[in-house]
Amino acid sequence: MKNCLRICLSLLFAIFAVALCRGQNDQNEIVINRPVSELGNTKPVPVSIEGFSSEVTDILKFDLYVQGFTFVAPDAAQYQISGTSAGDVVGRVVDRFAKRNILSRSYNGATLRRQAHAFADDVVQAITGKKGIAQTRIAFKVQGASGNGEIYVADFDGHNAQAVTHDGTIVSAPSWVPGRSALYYNSYKLGNPDIFYHNLNTGERHVVAHYSGSNISPAASPDGSRVAMIMSRSGSPNVWVANPDGSGLRKLTSTSEDSSPCWSPDGEWICFATKIRERRVLAKVPAGGGDVQVIHTTGAPNPTEPDWSPDGKWIAFTLQAGEFDICVMPADGSAPPTILVRGEDPSWSPNSRTLIYARRTGGHYVLSLLDVYTKQVKDIRQISGSDSEPAWAK
């Protein structure tokens, strides 16, 4: 018996030693598990910034603020960010608590703005272990007083905005094809709410869905091989899927008043808003067809406009209860939603931390960025008119 006990203890110590060695040797992976209670309640990471021009400092502060950082004096900072931007950006990051340099890099061959974005991404990677978002792009709708509008693309902060369409008609719901410089969107160019595919590199576009009734809310699958959409060709608006050219059309739902489809990151499910027994709910359906399953949003009635985070953990959506609010909940339904900020139509960043959304102010919409954990918010650079329906490139 004693020998058995001695052997078991030896095995346990051996397993512990192997695990310890693996943890010490794996310096490239930082895993941060966030409980639901931390949504909107996490303290930002204190950093200092010095040595850069005012332009570069402003860019770095914007990029880092919407990813959970706050700015303090060097002697109060956990991480000290310093460098120069005379010609090119040269930057360093020192972990003041660990007393070590965790990043030192120079940047060239691009505009000062793009160099600053690249440095911000490296800062986020060095401190959090997650990829930054400063070099990502967004698409959105810009609408004038007439109700007509155009689809635009821009850097994530709203700079370098360019019009994609020049149709002078009603447009809506831009959706990126993951990993490609291409969009789906809805346009009345042909006199009907139709869905278009648009290659941003070549300018080529084609109609995906041009059926009688509505053809709206396109959403590309994670691998780009399919597109989900809302169509009313059989009566009620329902979820359909098709190939990128519109072929292989298949109806997935027979529920009532479906809207806003989005895909799970593994491509197995399509989440959407619908009505069941006269109540607005979120639901999901297998992408290959099957039974519709309700996603319970306890305490958040009338949910709509869902978006599934790229890491698969979260679903953000709009709560309609007099006003519009942005909510986030675990995708597996293990906890009720957390209401974070007033706004609508959320879209996740590629790193599943920041949301872009639309908020109404002064009779029009502006686009804002929300750090989900700290609730820190920044408006992006605006185009004249009303900017809404944002979509983040993945």
For residue 273, the domain's CATH number is 2.120.10.30
CA distance 368 to 370: 7
Parts of the chain with a pLDDT under 70? 1-35
153 and 290 share one domain? yes
- Decide if 258 is inside a domain: yes
CA distance 96 to 90: 19
What DSSP character marks residue 169?
B
305 and 380 share one domain? yes
pLDDT of residue 31: 38
For residue 45, the domain's CATH number is 3.40.50.11830
Last residue of a domain, one of 65, 93, 128: 128
pLDDT of residue 34: 55
Cβ-contact 231, 237 below 8 angstroms: yes
- Decide if 189 is inside a domain: yes
Q: Please tell me the total count of domains within the chain.
A: 2
pLDDT of residue 35: 65
189 and 289 share one domain? yes
Place of tokens 């691009």: 110
What DSSP character marks residue 36?
G
Phi and psi angles of residue 47, each rounded to the nearest 5 degrees, phi first: -130, 160
CA distance 166 to 189: 10
Element (H, E) at 324: strand 323-330
Q: Which domain holds residue 151?
A: 137-392
Q: Shortest CA distance to 183 belongs to which of 155, 219, 214?
A: 219
Last residue of a domain, one of 111, 128, 145: 128
Last residue of a domain, one of 94, 128, 162: 128
- Decide if 7 is inside a domain: no
347 and 216 share one domain? yes
268 and 385 share one domain? yes
What are the pLDDT digits (tens) for 315-371?
A: 999 999 889 999 999 999 999 999 999 999 999 999 999 999 999 998 899 999 999
